[in-house]
Amino acid sequence: MIDGVRPKMPGRPSQRHEVKVRLRRAGLLTVCEEARCPNVCECFGAQTATFLIMGKVCTRSCRFCAIEKGQPPEAPDSDEARRLAEAVVELDLAHTVITSVTRDDLPDGGAAMFAACIREIKHRRPETTVEVLVPDFAGRKESLTTVLLEKPEVLNHNVETVARLVDQVRPGASLKRSLSLLRQAAETSDAVVKSGLMVGLGEEDSEVGELLGQLADAGCRVVTIGQYLQPSKTQCAVQRQVSESAFSSWRSLGHSLGLHVVAGPLVRSSYQAKEVLDALRLANGSSRG
Ligand code: SF4
């Protein structure tokens, strides 16, 4: 629990349990559980989840992340897209978020698997909006194109932290590469482009402001900013508890830059993703967002 901020627990415990049972039965993973998200009870209680495809072993080693690291033991399961789409129908999801670990071991970084999942969901339940939270595909533009051709409503890619801390916090990643990916999505698709970061990793408030400017310049429409929480002693320590006034100042700065900034201690990149998309569409009076 963060100072005075407790995760919400809507829905009955049985409902949350029901979601878990269905996911296990379908052989599906969620980043909610694997990354120990503080909002898991709220989201499962609201019958929503962020699906984690292509296994739970990541080829990167971000210092804040609780997900297992190493050499993924198996190739992606080609049947996963069908099972995921079936779960979307079973859980009656109006909006679905799909993410993955980083699979640098795959020639396309897993892009074909993301594309198959979007295609399968749109085939079985066209009214469901799809948000994909993608890795950086090691900068391969053709991989992102493969995903965008399936027309996800939201293309999300987290920059996670400010420029000065990337090497320390996200080894193997680069802010330049992430901004280029977001710009490609904004320039070549109708998807709402979204990104996210965590604070409390050692950044200065001014560095976050600068990053918001870079994200707006890259064509982002939505940015999520949340307080980093240490999942276990294995991950890097929390450097500070960020004040509500800082979150509020980033919301205002974002607004002045044309960004829809969702910022608060428990905010995570796919937290209330449907509500965020609906709010953006409402604000823009269009079904596109
Ligand atoms: S790339 Fe994603 S899943 Fe992999 S370690 Fe980093 S944050 Fe975790």
Cα–Cα distance measured from residue 238 to residue 248, given in angstroms and rounded to the nearest whole number = 20
CATH number of 13-284: 3.20.20.70
The mean pLDDT value for 16-44 works out to: 81
pLDDT at 38 over 90: no
pLDDT given at position 1: 46
Residue bearing the CA closest to ligand 1, atom 6: 62
pLDDT at 59 over 70: yes
The CA 184 to ligand 1 mean position distance, Å, reads 21
The CA 262 to ligand 1 mean position distance, Å, reads 21
The number of the ligand 1 atom at minimal distance from the alpha carbon of 64 is: 7
The ranges assigned to domains in the chain are: 13-284
Residue bearing the CA closest to ligand 1, atom 2: 101
Task: Give the C-alpha distances (Å, rounded to integers) separating 71 from 28, 30, 106, 131, 171.
Answer: 20, 19, 11, 27, 16
Average pLDDT, the chain: 91
Exposed/middle/buried for residue 38 (C-beta within 10 Å: 0-12, 13-18, 19+): buried
Q: Which is higher by pLDDT, 19 or 259?
A: 259
The number of the ligand 1 atom at minimal distance from the alpha carbon of 66 is: 8
The CA 171 to ligand 1 mean position distance, Å, reads 10
Tens-place pLDDT, residues 204-248: 999 999 999 999 999 999 999 999 999 999 999 999 999 999 999
Phi and psi dihedrals of 277, rounded to 5?
A: -65, -45
The CA 285 to ligand 1 mean position distance, Å, reads 35
The mean pLDDT value for 39-68 works out to: 87
pLDDT at 2 over 70: no
User: Which residues lie with the beta carbon below 6 Å from any ligand 1 atom?
Assistant: 58, 60-62, 65, 67, 101-102, 135
Phi and psi dihedrals of 234, rounded to 5?
A: -70, -30
Q: Which of 227, 152, 236 has its CA nearest to residue 196? A: 227
The CA 181 to ligand 1 mean position distance, Å, reads 17
Tens-place pLDDT, residues 136-192: 999 999 999 999 999 999 999 999 999 999 999 999 999 999 999 999 999 999 999
